[in-house]
Chain A
């Protein structure tokens, strides 16, 4: 029977009491050897017997109607099996946690690049050729709006406010009013989106590249119009997601439809170009920051307004000012968002939605304010840390932001930072910058099952491991709770026949699935305590031995028949009474070429307090990866859209510049400060990966400013923009 636990009050820190000593240890991920030797099978790696290959066809108009798909244009080609399209086809992937079908546009085209048909053939090559040749006729609409800057269809809610911003801003001794822009971005996960669909009678098994199977199952069933219990999704290994695989996508539905019609399995793998065309992007943003402060640096007024875009019918709007709403306190706060509707590749969650781009602007503005006040940027931040969430009045559940700032400054050698433009080595200006980091923390309903046998345990949940280390941490939690070596725990993930978890998203997977695993194991401990005849608090489990009530017994004797417990966790009163967020501080040192405007990051430091660390190694990798994302957002990543059609012009990894190894400094350090978030969840953890991004790019751009005087308002800071800013600054 499933035990459901609601997080209504602070929980005891049981993982600090257990005796195995595995939680937190920097263990290798158990599936690592499989991954590096090609034995971990990702969605498209297996090809069922008799499988056919499907390739998606894109629309080549910006908006309008499909008037004909001429199947005869490909039907004579060798190997071609058929062309599939229809009302079930998806316009774009579902938004995260939708749990229902995304827009199914029928014969309508809503953006250039929209998947409109699937060509199926005996080989991938033949399918791709036929997809290229398929003749589609359209009735294109005139005057389609594809440019967010000039779009006329705008949605704007009333600003979210606390206090009186206008009055506070007017009364401020020092004010700052700046505009920043960030480019559209794309997740560009290494594994392209893929699906292998196979029917048995009216039951569908789909191998997919997906992050949130519990939701994806419902989304797929709803898209196909079949009961959810007829759908099983398998995704034991996922090659990166970063938000791009949160929801069911066009490839999965197309594969399922074709497989059903053909009575044979169908594999659909998106080409890299299709990934760029049809997977949810991160919206470009234009942002306005207004800060008002006293001469001594106390913030009086803070406003962060933004404009983002999405296609019609999508509820998602990049939550740009998310962190600005709680990071610093002020007398008057105001946050307004404008959403422009455009015919472009739809927008959705990309790693750290909101903070990833919002903090680029907020934390540069804070730096500019520090400069105007002639104040140390670290001091300015320390001076403005609120005791409660300034918008909601909730106390923070745990925050060590001040410690992160101080510790970071100390470790980085911040005291050696030179005045702007005064440090030069050869042709390179050198400078330092910093920024705060914040990323709100969540607990999402999750279930897990733990089985304890005589010689080991099994964890089962439909949770995914998208490269984050889920296999490692769930094994560690179960081993810790049950007094086993970690090798004695097998973790089974990515199968909707297992209990449904949060999935991987919003950095909440470890909190959520980890808590469910913890609770299921805790239930087993209760049974074991009963068998030992002792209370739960007296029970110790270590190295396969149970101790309690003056008895000692090997687990193998205590557990003659497998013990099975399933537990479920969900957010409760603490999510109302307290506000939980990860906090940290980023520091960066950069060199800027005085002539060419090239920026090279020399070192980065992130000091973070993110609750209990479950695996110091995978946590560090998450934080480092996030910091590299910050580097990309600051310096290199920019998706370009054609001004006429809105289509994606940067459709491959040669044109969309994620940081290369040479961009990443050898000296990258992550320091975790010890923390427990008792209000967050029963295991006192917080999300990690996204905190690594949030603020990291701003630290780099603040360092560019310190190095050479250039402040780049239009990101990323590519050499041309740095040159223009250097020339504007007269350096």
Chain B
């Protein structure tokens, strides 16, 4: 680990004052410290924002909620309002990481976590995200976890967050404060940039901007919310694919569908055409499969991720079956019942 300076900010404006070239904000540190140990990230200064009061807490915001950037994943997932109005978010968070990590990880930090592409993590390998212009070792390498949407010849990395996928399907917004103290809001999906030829630029945050909150719009009455994550083991693994689905029914037809997909793109992936394909449809594997086909038509796969096309298709169908009541959701979301 490289030596670094450490300073603690008590206020947002104080934090802004301490930021500068080579500085990085630290809150939970669950991702940043790992990356510093292996020297994928080598900030010269850490500005600790974890004690800033303005970033704490969940408050009501009209019919919606404002979630402070420092609210931990555990706190957010356990919040009664979230569990009743936006259960998708709670389930997605609990599908990620481990209890210990969720106790430390924050809402803002979760959104800005880095990819887990193993070539990004290995400083002996070329990575444009780590060192722009160096090349992308993943292209000819191995990678079950690589993305299939929104990639480029310069980067195949997937965004690993589960929480962000749920937020995208819930049409949440990110509240951002500039160094000068001005606030702007963006849909979660617009926080991220696709890699193009600059995979190192992952978000649209300007220098000195920090995420202050996530805003959840009012929950739609009677929506069916499902988060379905498939991974290589039952817990503590990143998604091979995940599906967040928010459905509104009108009688026995689907009135609206809001979908987001994880483990498949550099950001929570959305596909308005796939959503549109469900509107007015009667629930059933055929209708679900058609929507899935619209989605996976856009996929560009590395040989190791070809499997994500059938897997994503099937996982979307399974999620929609749960959302529409065709399948009884198994106890504990997507795990089999295990006798005590």
Interface residues of A (CB under 8 A from B): 58, 60, 78, 125, 128-129, 132, 273, 425-428, 591, 593, 595-598, 600, 602-603, 635-636, 640-644, 647, 649-652, 654-655, 657, 659-663, 665-667, 718-720, 723-724, 727
Contacts and interface: CB of A to CB of B under 8 A. Distances in A.
B187 to A, nearest CB: 28
B63 interface: no
Given A643-B141, A654-B238, A602 B233 contact: no
Nearest to A721: B307
Contact of A719 (B1, B37, B240): B240
Contact of A667 (B119, B122, B145, B339): B339
B140 interface: yes
B314 A644 contact: no
Interface stretch (B78-86, B104-112, B172-180, B326-334): B326-334
Contacts of A593: 318, 334, 336
Given A602-B336, A647-B124, A663-B235, 14 more contacts: A78-B3, A132-B39, A273-B38, A426-B330, A591-B336, A593-B334, A595-B318, A602-B338, A635-B233, A642-B141, A657-B233, A663-B234, A667-B339, A724-B310
B118 A650 contact: yes
7 contacts: A595-B314, A598-B230, A635-B233, A643-B141, A644-B141, A660-B233, A723-B314
Nearest to B303: A643
A635 B321 CA distance: 26
A660 B330 contact: no
B240 A603 contact: no
Given A426-B327, A655-B118, A718 B314 contact: no
Given A129-B39, A426-B327, A649-B118, A600 B338 contact: yes
Contacts of B221: none
B237 interface: yes
Contacts of A647: 124
B124 A60 contact: yes
Contacts of B123: 132
Nearest to B327: A427
Nearest to B140: A644
Interface residue tally on B, bucketed by range? 35 or more
B311 A719 contact: yes
B252 interface: no
Nearest to A635: B233
Contact of A654 (B116, B234, B321): B116
Interface in B278-330: 307-308, 310-311, 314-315, 317-318, 321, 327-328, 330
B100 interface: no
Given A273-B38, A427-B327, A428-B336, A651 B121 contact: yes
A720 B314 CA distance: 11
B52 interface: no
B37 A128 contact: yes
B142 interface: yes
Nearest to B339: A667
B118 A723 contact: no
Contact of A660 (B234, B311, B315): B234
B227 to A, nearest CB: 13
Contacts of B235: 660-663
B38 A427 contact: no
A659 B310 contact: no
B6 interface: no
Interface string B52-79: 0000000000000000000000000000
A598 B339 contact: no
Nearest to A132: B39
A642 B311 CA distance: 24
Contacts of B206: none
B338 A665 contact: yes
A511 to B, nearest CB: 34
Interface of B: 1-3, 37-39, 116, 118-119, 121-124, 137, 140-145, 228, 230-238, 240, 307-308, 310-311, 314-315, 317-318, 321, 327-328, 330, 334-340
Contacts of B310: 720, 723-724, 727
The 10 closest A-B pairs by CB, nearest first: A720-B307, A662-B235, A600-B336, A591-B336, A595-B318, A662-B234, A660-B235, A60-B124, A595-B314, A125-B1
Nearest to A643: B142
Nearest to A718: B232
Contacts of A662: 233-236, 335
Contacts of A643: 140-142
Nearest to A659: B233
A593 B336 CA distance: 8
A596 B230 contact: yes
A603 B230 CA distance: 21
B234 A600 contact: yes
A727 B310 CA distance: 10
Point out which of A603, A647, A663, A727 has the most chain B C-beta atoms below 10 A from its C-beta: A663
A160 B142 CA distance: 37
Contacts of B140: 643-644
A204 to B, nearest CB: 30
B118 to A, nearest CB: 5
A642 B338 contact: no
B142 A654 contact: no
Contacts of A651: 118, 121-122
B295 to A, nearest CB: 15
A598 B237 CA distance: 13
A659 B233 CA distance: 7
A642 B234 contact: no
Contacts of B232: 636, 657, 718-719
Contacts of B335: 600, 662
B229 to A, nearest CB: 9
A596 B233 contact: no
Contacts of A603: 339
Nearest to A125: B1
A720 B338 contact: no
Contacts of B334: 593, 596, 598
Contacts of B122: 649, 651
Contacts of A78: 3
B39 A427 contact: no
A636 B233 contact: yes
A596 B1 contact: no
A642 B144 CA distance: 12
B142 A640 contact: yes
A595 B315 contact: yes
A723 B39 CA distance: 38
B236 A723 contact: no
A596 B328 CA distance: 15
Nearest to A61: B124
Contacts of B37: 128
A642 B3 contact: no
Given A644-B141, A659-B233, A663-B233, A720 B118 contact: no
B96 to A, nearest CB: 12
Given A665-B338, A718-B232, A649 B330 contact: no
A60 B125 CA distance: 9
A647 B126 CA distance: 14
B12 to A, nearest CB: 31
A657 B317 CA distance: 26
Contacts of B240: 719-720
A43 B62 CA distance: 58
Contacts of A641: 142
B328 A426 contact: yes
B330 A428 contact: yes
A654 B310 CA distance: 24
A129 B2 contact: yes
A425 B329 CA distance: 11
A595 B339 contact: no
B142 A723 contact: no
A636 B237 CA distance: 11
A635 B311 CA distance: 17
Given A596-B230, A654-B116, A720 B311 contact: yes
A185 to B, nearest CB: 14
Given A598-B334, A667-B339, A654 B314 contact: no
